[in-house]
Chain A
Amino acid sequence: MEVQYSGDVMTLNMGPQHPSTHGVLRLELKTDGEIVADAKPHIGYLHRCFEKHCENVDYPGVVPFTDRLDYCAAMNQELGYVLAVEKLMGIKINDRVRYLRVIMAELGRIASHLIAAGTYGNDIGTFTPFWWCFRDRETILDFFEETCGARLLYNYNWIGGLMHDVKPDFGKRVIEFIDYFEPQVDNLNKILSDNYIFIKRTANVGILKPEVAVSYGVTGPNLRGSGVAFDVRKDEPYLGYEEFDFDIAVGKGDYGPVGSCWDRYMVRIREVKECCKIIRQAVAKLPPGDVRETVPKRVKPPKGDVYMRTEAPRGELGYYIVSDGSPKPYRLKVKSPCFTAMSAFREVSRGVMIADLIAILGSFDIVLGEIDR
């Protein structure tokens, strides 16, 4: 779209209390009529010194803090942390722990993508998909609740193992859920993804070019929405993801240029189906074993530093840990996928209409708890 500026620029604050900013985020807009000349994000409203707190608790004590980074996908956040500490300490986990972690991480990914899709529909102005998504997410939260007692913030992944084993018929019921859930994804496509109005609102909006995305360090579904087939689970496998047969979901530009809001949204829907594939395989292979077999009595990693990244639902989640040989981390730095995605937001949103700004922001699927830490 050719942008025509009249030159009469007004400053407008969107947020911090705005329903479609997905948390406490302020966008400082320079508007020229309905056109956004510039949108500068101001973050930090949820800053709660996560990294400073971590320096004052022991290694296992950090796990509950990591849950609170991205509270929509807490299972995946703690997984990244425990893997980093295990890498630093050289702990080898057994197969039962490994498969259970994969199942839980993929269930967490489905739950998180359901929030993303549902609230995105809500942003665009349709309400029914939101309830459908939340209905199915409830079942996943029930699985988590019966396993570790919590619905949102789990503390389930422990360094070297898991908090509890699952119930005996867990696998059977998960497969029953997947059998029920897969057709629901098609229903969601019918009502939302292929909806004419939804496509009109998203398919030609907020184009993120692949080279811009890489330069801004955009990762995960947002990067794959731009057509870059990069997934840490495939390209730098952890937890034995190379054993599983699944495809990387990418944006194909079905209804417009590649890298649009619709592509970023659709990658998540396609990814949910891939998660189902992985869960089926993991449940089928789940071996017996003791989930606390390798949990160390004292967590005291050797001196050194480690960087470990995993594919969280919102992109690459990296933990950089410096150990000085004491039971507390000397320094812990989180590389948050939402933080880097948000830094690309200003670039993408230049010259769009105000209503499209909501569509772009929603398509990035940010969680402010993780950006502000």
Chain B
Amino acid sequence: MTPQEIAALLSEQFEDRVLESKTDEINPWSDVKSEAVLEVSQFLRSDSRLRMDHLELLGGVDYKENLEVVYVLFSMEHRHRYTIKCQLSKESPSLPSVESVWRVANWHEREAYDMFGIEFEGHSDLSRILCPDDWEGYPLRKDYVFPKSYRDMPV
């Protein structure tokens, strides 16, 4: 399917829960309400026209006033790609985990939690993955201040 068709299908299926679609960019994407991301994922994965079985990338982006989670999806069967984005507030960034849809999301979501402090509801083991467990702050946020020391060791 072309990106236009995928965007139209998503709008038809999820109506106002798909906030915005841009299909003329290099990386065509749809902006989805964060609470609907699990349902959208399940639909993308299971619908026979889409079959997005390969979660290529899941990552956070800090846009200063809000946070964003990006899902780049690919279908091994139909060989098409689409990007889903979710906007989150900086005060309480949380959205449903898609671990049940793609198992690879487990580690990707842990990384997004580690780097941006995004909470994934329903995740089986949401803990830091790259930084030590007792690390403070979320390093990839734009307002992150580097600590001078860690456990009395200069950083």
Chain A interface (Cβ < 8 Å from any Cβ of B): 43-44, 47, 49, 51-52, 87-88, 212, 214-217, 228, 230, 235-236, 304-307, 309, 316, 318, 320, 322, 330-331, 333, 335, 339-340, 342-344, 347, 372-373
Category for how many chain B residues contact A: 20 to 34
Judge whether B38 is part of the interface by a CB distance below 8 angstroms: no
CA gap between A306 and B53 in the complex, in Å:
21
Please state if B54 and A304 are interface contacts (CB–CB under 8 Å): no
- Chain B residue numbers with a CB within 8 Å of A347 are 103
Q: For window 100-131 of chain B, which residues contact chain A by CB distance below 8 Å?
A: 102-104, 106-107, 115, 128-131
Please name all residues of chain B whose beta carbon is closer than 8 Å to the beta carbon of A344 when the two chains form the complex: 103-104
Residue contact B132 to A333, C-beta cutoff 8 Å? no
Query: Quick check: B56 and A215 within 8 Å, CB to CB?
Result: no
6 closest A-B pairs by beta carbon, nearest first, are A217-B104, A333-B59, A44-B130, A343-B107, A47-B130, A335-B57
User: A215 touches which one: B62, B103, B115 (CB < 8 A)?
Assistant: B103
Indicate which residue in B56, B103, B132 contacts A318 across the interface (CB closer than 8 Å): B56
Contact among A304, A307, A342 with B56 in the assembled complex (CB-CB below 8 Å) = A307
A309 to B131, CA, bound (A): 26
Query: B10 within 8 Å of A by Cβ?
Result: no
* Alpha-carbon separation in the docked complex, A216 to B104 (Å): 4
Which residue of the partner chain, among A51, A214, A305, contacts B140 with CB atoms under 8 Å? A51
Complex Cα–Cα for A347 and B70 (A)? 26
Find chain A residues with CB under 8 A from B115 CB.
Answer: 51
Nearest-Cβ distance from residue A175 to partner chain B, whole angstroms: 34
Q: Are B61 and A339 in contact (CB under 8 A)?
A: no
Is B46 among interface residues, defined by CB-CB distance under 8 A? Answer: no
**Are the C-beta atoms of B57 and A215 separated by less than 8 Å?**
no
| A184, chain B: closest CB distance, angstroms | 34
Picked from A88, A228, A320, A340, the residue with its CB within 8 Å of the CB of B72 is A320
Asked if residues A215 and B104 are in contact (CB atoms below 8 Å), the reply is yes
B:45-59 near A, CB below 8 Å: 53-57, 59
CB of B105 to closest CB in A, whole Å: 9
Q: Give the residues in chain B near A236, CB-CB below 8 Å.
A: 79
The answer to whether A214 touches B54 (Cβ under 8 A) is yes
Q: Does any Cβ of A come within 8 Å of B76's Cβ?
A: yes
For residue B41, CB closer than 8 A to chain A, the reply is: no
Q: Which residues of A contact B107 (CB under 8 A)?
A: 339-340, 342-343
Given A215-B103, A306-B27, A322-B61: A49 touches B139 (CB 8 Å cut-off): yes
Does more than half of chain A's interface fall in helix, strand or loop, or is it mixed?
A: mixed
Q: Given the complex of chains A and B, what is the CA–CA distance between A347 and B61 in angstroms? A: 30
Which residues of chain A come closer than 8 Å to B76, judged between CB atoms?
214, 228, 230
Q: Contact between B70 and A320 (Cβ–Cβ < 8 Å)?
A: yes
Q: Is the CB of B25 within 8 A of A335?
A: no
Instruction: Find chain A residues with CB under 8 A from B106 CB.
Output: 343
B129 & A216 in contact (Cβ 8 Å cutoff): no
Write out the residue numbers on chain A whose beta carbons fall within 8 Å of the beta carbon of B128: 44
- Bound-state Cα–Cα, A339 to B25, Å: 28
- Quick check: A217 and B54 within 8 Å, CB to CB? yes
Asked whether, in the complex, the Cβ of A373 is within 8 Å of the Cβ of B104, the reply is: no
Report if B30 contacts A (CB, 8 A): no
Is residue B21 within 8 Å, beta carbon to beta carbon, of the partner chain?
Answer: no
For B81, list chain A residues within 8 Å (CB).
307
Inter-chain CA distance A270–B134, complex, in Å, is 45
**Closest A residue to B105 using CB positions:** A217
Asked whether B145 is an interface residue with its Cβ less than 8 Å from the other chain, the reply is no
B26 on the A face (CB < 8 A): yes
Q: Is B34 an interface residue (CB 8 A)?
A: no
Q: Is B87 an interface residue (CB 8 A)?
A: no
- Whether B83 is near chain A, meaning CB under 8 Å from some CB there, is yes
**What are 20 inter-chain pairs, A to B, with CB distance below 8 A?**
A44-B128, A44-B131, A49-B139, A52-B140, A212-B103, A214-B53, A216-B103, A216-B104, A217-B102, A235-B79, A236-B79, A307-B56, A309-B56, A318-B57, A320-B59, A331-B140, A335-B57, A335-B72, A339-B107, A343-B107
A284 to B54, CA, bound (A): 36
CB distance from B29 to the nearest CB of A (A): 8
Contacts of B72 in A (CB 8 A): 307, 318, 320, 335
